Structure 1
Amino acid sequence: MKFLAAIFSRQGFVILLLSAVLAACTVVVDDGPGPRPRPPRPEPQYCSKQYEPVCARRGGDRQTFANACLADRAGYRIVRD
C-alpha cells in the first residue's frame, strides 16, 4: 500500500507539474481586426452622346470635351470661369 501511495503521489505531482508547465506555454494568437474589405470594382461608366461642350483641365493641360461626363471619365476637372 505504501508503494502505491508513493507512486501515485509522485505521479500526481509530476502530472500536476507538467500540466502547469503546458498551461504556461499556451500561445494565444490575435488575428487582428480581420481581412480588409475589397475595394469596389470600378464599374464601366457610360456617357450619353449629348453635345454640351465643356472646357476641362488636368494639371496644366486644358481640353474641350463634348460633355461633362466624358471629361470626368478622362480624369479632367471642369473649368468654370
Structure 2
Amino acid sequence: MKFLAAIFSRQGFAILLLSAILAACTVVVDEGPGPRPRPPRPEPQYCSKQYEPVCARRGGDRQTFANACLADRAGYRIVRDGPCR
C-alpha cells in the first residue's frame, strides 16, 4: 500500500512523468548499411589423379598439368592437349 501511495504522491508522480518523458525521447541512429556480406565460399573442387597432360597458360606463364581439372583449379587456361613444348 505504501508503494501506491508513493506513486500517487506529487514527488512520485513527477518522477514517473519524468521517466516517461525520457523514455519517449530515445534517438535512433542509422549507421548505414552495416558490414558488407561476405562473398560465398567456393565449393571445394576435387580432381582425379588421371594422367592426361595439358598445356595451360596464365598471363605469360605456360605450365604442364597432369589433367585439365588441376590446370583450371590453379587458375590457368588450357592452351592445348599434351605437355607444353
After TM superposition, the score normalised by the length of structure 2 is 0.51
Q: Which moved more, 1:24-33 or 1:63-72?
A: 24-33
Post-superposition Cα deviations, 1:38-73, rounded to whole Å, max 9, x if no partner, equal: 222344321012222211011211111111110011
| Number of residue pairs matched by the alignment | 81
Gap change, CA 1:53 and 1:11, over 3 Å in 2: same
Q: Which moved more, 1:18-27 or 1:3-12?
A: 3-12
Q: Which moved more, 1:34-43 or 1:49-58?
A: 34-43
After TM superposition, the score normalised by the length of structure 1 is 0.53
Please give the root-mean-square deviation of Cα atoms over the aligned residues, in Å.
Answer: 5.8
CA contact (8 A) 2:56 2:64 kept: yes
Where do 5+ consecutive residues of structure 1 fail to align?
Answer: none
Please report how far the alpha carbon of residue 31 of structure 1 lies from its aligned counterpart in structure 2 after TM superposition: 2.6
Counterparts of 1:76 and 1:3, CA distance in 2:
79
Q: Which moved more, 1:12-21 or 1:41-50?
A: 12-21
Gap change, CA 1:63 and 1:8, over 3 Å in 2: closer
**Sequence identity percentage:** 96
Instruction: Point out which structure has higher relative CO (alpha carbons under 8 A, 6+ apart).
Output: 2
